[in-house]
Structure 1
Amino acid sequence: MRTPVINRFAKIVPLVAVAALTAGLTVLPASTAWACGDEPAPAATEAWEHHATEPVTTIIPGTPDRITVGGPKVEFGLKLSNGTGEDYRSIAPRPALWNPQSGDVSNDLRKVNLRPEDITVEMMVDGGWKSLPLRHSCDPVLNNIDVTAGRGPLAAGQTKRFLFRLGLKSSTPVEQKSVEVHLGEGTEPLTLTMVRPPAPKTPAPKTPAAQAPAAVPAAAKDVPAAAPTPSVSPTAAATTELAETGSTTPNTFLLASAAAMVALGTGVLLMVRRTRRTRG
C-alpha cells in the first residue's frame, strides 16, 4: 500500500523543514543524505559547536504577509540570544523555504515545488545585501542555503540581529500560491501569500475621430453701400494744365497782329469814305 507512505511523507515534510534548518544552530555534519540533492552548501557541512542548550530565536515583528511575484523583495529578520553560558565561535541562522502545496500529492509537484532559479534570498552583511546561493536538498524544502557570508561569533549572553530579504522572480509558476519561511526551532513559520500583478492589457487600437468640418463663416449681412462721394472731374484741371503748357509768346504775337490788322482795316475804310465824299 503506497498511499499511507505518501501521506506520512506529506505530514513529515514540514517537520523535516523545521528540523533541518534549526536556524543553523544545530550540528549539521556531512552525511550520505546529501547524495540525493544538490551539492551541500559549505555552511551546511561545517560542524558547529554543540552546546547543552541552543540560543533563543526571536522573529522580529513587522514582516508583511504577502509577496509580489516579480515585485519588490520582502524583508524579515530574527534575533539570536545566546543564553547557553558558552561562546559560539561561528554561527548564523539559515532560513528554509517551503510551499505547503508540495505536501499534497494531488498537485503537480513539478510546478508547486519551489525552484531555486525562481527565488532570491539575500542577507544583510556589513551594511549591505549579500545574495545567498540556494540549492535543493533531498526533499521539496529549500533548506540548503549558504549563509557562510553572514556567520560570526556570538558570545555568551549576547543577542545578535540577522536580516534577510526574499524575492520571487516572474518565472515562478502560477500554480504556486504561497511560501513559508522557517527561521528556527520553536518559532512559527512566516507565511507569505503570493500576489501576482494583473497582466498588462493591450490597448485596443483607437479609431481616429472624424474631424468636424471647418466652420463656414456666416454670410456677411447686407450693409448699405456708402454713398459715392462726388469727385471733381479732372477734365477742367487737365484742360487748364494743357492751356498753360508751352510758351506764351506766340499767343501774344497773334493777338498783337490781329489788333494791328483791325486798326489797319479801320484806317483804310475811313480813307475810302473820305475819298468818296471829296469826289461827290
Structure 2
Amino acid sequence: MSFDLNGSDSSQHHDDGYNQGYNNYTTASHNLERSLSSHSNSMKATPSSLGWAPESELLRLYKFIVPKGKEPYLELLQGYQICFNVPQRVYLDPPSNPEKGVYPCQFPSGCPGKQFRRPADLERHYRHVHADADQKGSFPCDYKPCTRSKGPFTRKDHYRDHLKDFHKEDIGTAKQPKNAKDPKAIQALQQTWLEERQIDPRWWRCRRCLQRVYVDTHSYKCITCNEECAQERIEAREQKKHGMGKERMSFSEKNLPMTYAAQCTSCNGSMWITDSDSVFAEGNSVPCPICLPSGEIVYEDAEWDGDRFGTSYEAGY
C-alpha cells in the first residue's frame, strides 16, 4: 500500500497556488496604493479640509507660492516632516457664496474681507502682501542719482508713473480730467504735457518693458519685446537732436575768438557751480550757465533730492 499518491505533484500544486495568491495580493495592494495616491492627488488639501484653525501656527511651516496666472498654494518648507495634517502642498479654500465680478482674498491669515474686481488684482495682492520678498517684483530707477535706484519699486506701474511724473519722461499721455469732452481742451492739455517732457535724443524708453533703447545701437525698436517707438516720440527726438546741433554750432562760433580768453570766474573752468537755491539738494553742483548751454544739460546727471512719492505710495496693495 502506497501513500505517495504523487506527493511531489501535490506539493508543486500547493506552491503554485500560494505563489499565485501572493502575486494577486501584491498586485492588488499595489493597485490600491496607486489608487489612494491618485485619489489624494485629486483631492486638494485646503486649510479647512485639514482642520486648521484660523491664524494656525502651521502656516509658519509653509511658503506661499503665487505663480503668474495660476492657482496659488502653500509649499512645505524643507526640513519639516509630512504627516496627516501637514501635507507637502496646501491650496487656498474656495470662496463661499462667491459673487460675480468679486474676487475675495482667501489667504488664511492677514486680511479678512479684502475683495478685488479682477483676478489680476487679487493675484497681485497675494504676491505683494502675503508672499515672500523673493516673489515680489523689483524695479529700480535707472537714473543713478535718484534715491529709488537703491530703493526699487515692487510694481511696474508705480515705476512707470515715477518715470512719467517725476523724471518727466514722454511715456503715455497727459492725465485727463474726469468727464473731459472738449477735444480742443484735451489737445491743449496734451501739448502742454509734451512741452514739459525731458527728452534725450540719444535714447527712448520702451513703454512695455521700461528699458532704455539707445538710438545709435538699436534705432527705434526695442530688442527685448519688439515694441516700436511711437512716431511722435521719434519726431520729438529728431527735432531735439537737430536743435541741439544748431545751438552747439552757434555756441562754438560765438566763442571762437575767446579760445585764449581768461578762465571762467563763475566755475573756474570746471563747468559746474554750487547752487543751494536749486530744486536739487543743498550744496549740490549744477551746470554753469555761462560755460554750458541749457541744451547740453543732461538731467539724469543731476542729484535728485529724493522721490516726492512717499513709501505710502506703494501701500495700495
If the TM-score is normalised by the length of the shorter chain, which range does it land in? Answer: under 0.3
Q: Which has the higher helix share?
A: 2
Larger radius of gyration: 1
Q: Which has the higher strand share?
A: 1
Asked which structure has the greater RCO (Cα within 8 Å, sep 6+), the reply is 1
TM-score of the pair, normalised by structure 2 = 0.16
